[in-house]
Amino acid sequence: MISIRNVSLTYPNGVRALDNVTLEIAKGDFLFLVGSSGTGKSSLLKLLYHDAIPSHGEIVVDGIRVDKLRGARVASLRRHLGVIFQDFKLLNDKTVWENVAFAMHVTGAHTREIERQVPRTLDLVGLAHKSRMFPNELSGGEQQRTAIARAIVNNPKLLLCDEPTGNLDPENTAEIMDLLLRINTKGTTVVVATHNQSVVDRMRKRVVRLEDGRIFTDEERGFYYLGLGQGQVLSG
C-alpha cells in the first residue's frame, strides 16, 4: 500500500525533518507513528498526502509515485485518501452535513450520490442526529467524528491521522480510536501519528518510532515505550 524508500526531507528554512527513512506499510495495516515532538511524524504524513515533497527518495502510495505528482493529480490523490488532524480542520460556517458533503462536492460527485453517501457515513460515525449542527455547537469528540466522516466519505483506501486525539479527553479518545479500528477492519489502511501512550499500549498494533527524523524502531505488536513489545526490529 505504502512504500517509502530512502526518503529525506529538508524544509526551506534548513530544518532536516526526515533523514533517509525507509518504510513499507501493507494494505489493511493499522500503524502508529510515535516519537517526541519534532521527530518528523507529521512530516512523514505530509509526504504521503503531498503537503510536502521529499528532497530525496521516493514515495509510492497505492502504486502512485506521490513525490512526482503535480497540480490536478495531487487533488486526485487526496480524493483517494482521508486525512484528519488534532485541530479537526472543519469549516465553521458549514453544518456537519455540509462539511462532509463538501469533500464529495469537490470531487464533482453527483448530488444523488452525495445525498446517499453522506447520511450513511454520518450514521457510521454516530452523528446522524447532529447533521444540522455547526462545529462550534459540538463537543471535541463530535467534531473529530465529523472530520473522520469527511475523511472517509469518499471511501479512501488510506486514512492518515495526525494526533487525532490530541485535543480530546480519555473517553472521547477511546471512542475515536474504536471508530478508527472499525474503519480499519473494513479494509482501510490506517496510519496514526500520536503522543498518546495509553492509546498505543491498549491497541497493541504495529508501532514505528521516529527519533531525530530517523526510524528508530519498528515493532509488530508494540508499546509506546521502547522494549516493552515483542518481535522488535531495529532499522534505519
Residues in contact with other proteins by CB under 8 A are 49-51, 70-72, 74-79, 83, 89-91, 93, 102-103, 105-108, 110-112, 114-115, 150, 154
Q: Max Cα separation, the chain?
A: 52
Please check whether residue 66 is in contact with residue 59, taking contact to mean a CB–CB distance below 8 angstroms. Answer: yes
Q: Determine contact, residues 168/184, Cβ cutoff 8 Å.
A: no
Minimum CB distance to other proteins smaller for 88 or for 223: 88
CB nearer other proteins, residue 33 or residue 118: 118
Minimal distance, residue 97 CB to other proteins, in Å: 12
Place of cell 490536478: 72
Q: Which of 24, 43, 26 is nearest to 35 (CA)?
A: 43
Q: How far is the CB of 30 from other proteins (least distance, A)?
A: 22
Least CB distance to other proteins at residue 159 (A): 13
User: Do the beta carbons of residue 148 and residue 186 sit within 8 Å?
Assistant: no
Smallest distance, other proteins to C-beta of residue 111, A:
3
* In the complex, minimum distance from the CB of residue 55 to other proteins, in angstroms, rounded to a whole number: 17
- From the list 190, 168, 203, 174, the residue with the least C-alpha distance to 31 is 190
Residue whose CB is less far from other proteins, 150 or 206? 150
Look at residues 177, 120, 182 and name the one whose alpha carbon lies nearest to residue 153. Answer: 120
Segments in the chain forming alpha helices (H): 41-48, 72-79, 96-105, 111-124, 140-152, 170-185, 197-203
User: Cα–Cα distances in Å, from 14 out to 9, 11, 18, 47, 215?
Assistant: 10, 5, 12, 17, 20
Nearer to other proteins, 79 or 204 (CB): 79
Minimum distance of other proteins from residue 49's CB (angstroms): 8
Q: Please, are residues 56 and 6 in contact by the beta-carbon 8 Å criterion?
A: yes
Closer residue to other proteins (CB): 46 or 206: 46
For other proteins, give the closer residue by CB, 102 or 216. Answer: 102
